[in-house]
Structure 1
Amino acid sequence: MSVDLLAPTIADRAYHRIRSDIIFDRLGPGAKLRLDRLAADYGTSVSTLREVLSRLSSEGLVHAEGQRGFEVAPVSPDGFRDVAAMRILLETSALPLSFAAGDLEWESRVVAAHHKLKVLERRMLAGDREGTELWKRYDREFHQTLIEACGSQTLLDIHAGVYDQYLRYQMVAVVFRGAAAADEHQELLDCALARDAARASAVVSRHVDACVTHALEGGALRGAPQRGQPPSRADLDTPSDQPFPSVGEGAYRKIRADIVFGRLPPGRKLKLETMKADYGVGVSTLREILNRLSSERLVVAEGQRGFEVAPVSIANLREIADLRLLLECHALEQSFRAGDMDWESRVVAAHHRLARMEERMAADDRSCTERWKQFDWQFHQALISACGSRMLIDAHAAVFDKYLRYQMIALSYRGDIASGEHALLLDCAMDRDAGRACDVLRCHVAGGLEHALATGTIT
């Protein structure tokens, strides 16, 4: 009997249910996630739950407490501001692209999404709170439909994750601003039909800022747990209270790294029986890992034909490069403004390691290629590490990994040009010259992109 490899696994179903319960505040901030109780509630094993909660921890929805287990991630006023700022950055960047590319079918989906939202808002205005969760689902659907024609699936994926975090804050604070919010949604519809992206971006900024202000003035977040957010990937070199990774989490990281660094090349068939021996986990765990990597678009699920490493394309590389610039330039400005002496020392140290590897690459020593790219990653992460936004750092890291994958495929080294640009970025950091740093970064990424394409390895 054939088995549909795309059918949701027990872990998939538990992941989506727990994630939804956190976002919609059925599992509130700070709630202890006791594995034995969750196993009964969600119909899965304790070992599977550990994998699910580790995955949710990586998304910032669950906090891992070392040997003390897991709890729902806390919320705080600063956390809401961080999420809101990320939402504004992504949404206002996507709106002009979507408005320019959207066709009549897109228009009809926007109109339909607004209609559903408008009906629920009327009920809310009449005092009916029974449909609160459905109202927020329609709110999310409307905003996501507005930007869905932007042409960047990576941007849409990141926005969706950020929006879910934003939605969680709204559910915790029970935010409904009444007629003001409904009027702003109507204005956004009008902007979409008129293709007025500049006005729409201004409305979105005002809309989100007003929501944050309304929530904070209501005081709903002041008494919430505020022990901090889960460690970001920028904290890789610092001690962590995260529990030792499970077998499944360890295998996920190894497979992901093998894809990013090109050891598993684009189009490679991922045969479960072979991988079981290579990575030391069972077939069911592998399926869960590959489904997770599929959600990150590093793996393609092919129904009953199994899984393969995601393909590459010139269009996707350009999309990833544009998104990297958006996130990194925004983060550079904030990091340069807030960076202290400790941040400076991290940047100097990261550049020193990178410069040493660049010297070896210039001497045609290709044995250090992977370490060179790891140090490249660390230098750019160090530059933005003082930006003050864990969410921005983690989003940038995810995009940089996809950019790095293309660099490893193309094995592209630009010699003195790239090392000179890194030196200029270091100088800009020491001078706190964010404007010049962004100019250098644009040249750096554009040059790297064109150099990679010139190798002919990406089509």
Structure 2
Amino acid sequence: MENPAALQSETQDSSGEAVYARLRADTVLGRLAPGRKLGLEGLRQIYGAGVGTLREALNRLASEGLVVAEGQRGFSVAPVSAADFAEVAELRLLLECHAVHKSFAAGDLDWEGRVVGAHHKLAMLERRLLAGEPADAALWKRYDREFHQALIEACGSAALLETYAAAYDRYLRYQMVAVVFRGAVAATQHADLLHCALARDAAGACRLLEAHVAGCVEHVVSTGTLVPFASTRPCPAPEAATPTAGERAYRLIRADILRGTLAPGQKLKLDALRDAYDAGLGTLRETLSRLIAERLVVAEGQRGFEVAPFSPADLRDIANLRLLLEGHALDQAFHAGDVEWEGRVVAIHHKLSQAEERLHAGDGTVLETWRRFDSQFHETLISACGSRTLMATHAAVFDRYQRYQYRALGFRGAIAIREHAALRDCALRRDAPGARAVMARHILGGVDQALASGAL
């Protein structure tokens, strides 16, 4: 006989994914306007889903930066601003240009065919728009998205493609809110990008992308199309010192995944989690939905959830993405950092070095302290970069890297001590190229050690 609870869980999984997809599309495409309050009762009537399913989807969207969770006050669509658009655009450009170089070098004839086909659909719709004919804005942006994704799909990095897709969708939301079509300029740039792809001219494509993205941001800001959506409500008050049951469960489960207490590939049975974390099933489902968005948990359709697995390829993928993001942020931070920032760098390095010296002397009791100071040191180095979007994206990738650190990326003794000291010195000299070189040795050397250990 079928288990009724299991059948209900399977139905929730299927329904929840569909509701999440619909809510996400409506948010990205601007059907749910920036700043709009997302009352659960109103959403229940629109989407035909239960309150629990809606909360799961909204928590997942909050982890993606598309929705704001306001504690006991519910949810709202993330607001828009010119400053945030500029940050999102910068992140998109960083990721896309990096991926273009890799994709153009690796792409084969099949890839070329997909790029040509994606451009054909986009160009046909752009011709209709230029001629003043009726055209579906959502379809136009879908074809635009497909073309840009086709350009980079041969880059060979799943982590890079996932991070780019998330950044692009946040960028796309601004385009849909502002209804941006820059006419012949955009159409010509798309055609030129196609020619660069077929000629494998990655440098030329990146110059075009810089003009393409910068032109869009300038157009949106100069026309004032974001002004009607600017938030006039005050920022939500800080949450109470005591976390809610949901926040407590999220922090505990997340920490156990990062530390490996919940092992890679482990099935996450709701009944077992309820007993272990003293949380209700609804709270647990919301928590797991947030962790799915952070790529720490995998949803198995109707079979439930499991901790995201490990693989050598995934470690290299995440390490290279971390290196890209951290290197770019170092450039920005070294340029903008002041003496207050220098003081924070020196202070956290002092604490890190003290823990490293004790570890190097064989005192294993400071291992967790070292890991915490290591994370804080790298965060402080880039804290003056001026982009919350870049910082948040780096933090998410760093945490995925740190999962491997708990399993296989151990303390590398004198090598790590020297590299951290060199990074501090580069920061004080404002030597960004030197810091990037040290960072590459630091991160990739750790990966080589982890892979050689056989722990994965």
| 1:153-172 equivalent positions in 2, closer than 5 A | 153-172=158-177
The SS at the match of 2:448 is helix
In the alignment, what sits opposite 2:252? 254
SS at match of 2:80: coil
Distance 1:18 1:39 in 2: 11
Shift of 1:275: 2.0
From 123, 136, 141, the counterpart of 2:141: 136
Q: Which residue does the alignment assign to 1:429?
A: 427
RMSD value, Cα: 2.8
Q: Tell me the equivalent position of 1:394.
A: 392
Say whether the 8 Å CA contact 1:191–1:200 is kept in structure 2. Answer: yes
Q: CA–CA distance in 1 between the matches of 2:234 and 2:446?
A: 34
Q: 1:377 corresponds to which letter in structure 2?
A: S
Q: Which amino acid aligns with 1:121?
A: E
Secondary structure class of the residue paired with 1:270: coil
Aligned to 1:75: 80
Specify the alignment match of 1:151 in structure 2: 156
Distance 1:330 1:74 in 2: 26
1:48-197 map, 5 Å: 48-65=53-70, 68-197=73-202
Query: Matched residues in 2 for 1:102 and 1:289: separation?
Result: 39
Alpha-carbon distance change, 433 to 227 in structure 1, aligned in 2, over 3 angstroms: farther
2:361: which partner in 1?
A: 363
Contact 2:63 2:294 in 1 (8 A): no
Return closer, same or farther for 1:48/1:301 CA change in 2, 3 Å cut-off: closer
Rounded to whole Å, the distance in 2 between the matches of 1:192 and 1:440 is 33
> What letter is aligned with 1:33?
L
Whole-Å Cα distance in 2 between the matches of residues 110 and 395 of structure 1? 28
Q: CA deviation at 1:13?
A: 3.4
Q: Which residue of 1 aligns with 2:350?
A: 352
Q: Give the Cα separation in 2 of the matches to 1:402 and 1:96.
A: 24
Q: 1:374 to 1:129 in 2, by over 3 A?
A: farther
Structure 1 partner of 2:24 = 19
2:275 paired with 1:270: no
Alpha-carbon distance in structure 2 between the residues aligned to 1:47 and 1:19: 17
Aligned mates of 1:68, 1:220 — CA distance in 2: 28
Q: Distance in 1 between matches of 2:172 and 2:365?
A: 47
- Partner letter of residue 254 of structure 2? R
Shift of 1:147: 0.8
State TM-score, norm by structure 2.
0.90
Distance 2:229 2:362 in 1: 55
State which drifts further: 137-146 or 5-14.
5-14
Give the 3-state SS of the residue equivalent to 1:413 in structure 2. coil
After TM superposition, give the deviation of residue 109 of structure 1 in Å. 1.8
Give the alignment partner of residue 310 of structure 2, picking from 291, 297, 312. 312
The secondary structure found in structure 1 opposite 2:155 is: coil
Select which of 387, 411, 414 maps to 1:413.
Answer: 411
Matched residue, 1:235: none
8 A contact 2:264–2:307 mirrored in 1: yes
Aligned to 2:36: 31
Query: SS of 2:68's equivalent?
Result: strand
Three-state SS of the structure 2 residue aligned to 1:367 is helix
Moved more, 338-347 or 188-197: 338-347
Shift of 1:6: 9.2
In 2: Cα distance, 1:295 partner to 1:222 partner: 30
Question: Is the 1:324–1:396 contact (alpha carbons within 8 Å) kept by the matching residues of 2?
Answer: yes
Q: Is the 8 A contact 1:262 1:409 kept in 2?
A: yes
TM-superposition CA deviations, 1:136-183 (whole Å, max 9, x none): 011111111111111111111110111011101111111101111111
Q: CA deviation at 1:32?
A: 2.5
| CA distance 1:372–1:227, change in 2 (3 Å) | farther
Deviates more, 1:147-156 or 1:190-199: 190-199
Counterparts of 1:9 and 1:230, CA distance in 2: 35
Q: Distance in 2 between matches of 1:230 and 1:411?
A: 40
Counterparts of residues 314-353 of structure 1 (less than 5 Å): 314-353=312-351
Is residue 64–residue 293 contact of structure 2 (8 Å, CA) maintained in 1? no
The letter for the 2-side match of 1:28 is A
Deviations for 1:190-247, whole angstroms, at most 9, x for unmatched residues?
Answer: 222222222112211111111112222222124542579999xxxxxxx945897553
Q: Rate the CA distance shift 1:350–1:36 in 2: closer, same or farther, 3 A.
A: farther
How many percent of aligned residue pairs carry the same amino acid? 57
Match of 2:447 in 1: 449
d(CA) in 1 for partners of 2:232, 2:453 = 49
Measured in 2, the distance between the counterparts of 1:228 and 1:422 equals: 43
Q: How far off its partner does 1:305 sit?
A: 5.0
Q: 1:103 to 1:450 in 2, by over 3 A?
A: same
* CA drift at 1:325: 1.0
Q: Per-residue CA shift, 1:292-348, capped at 9, x if unaligned? A: 544544334445554433332222222211111110010011112122333233323
Q: Distance in 2 between matches of 1:229 and 1:339?
A: 29
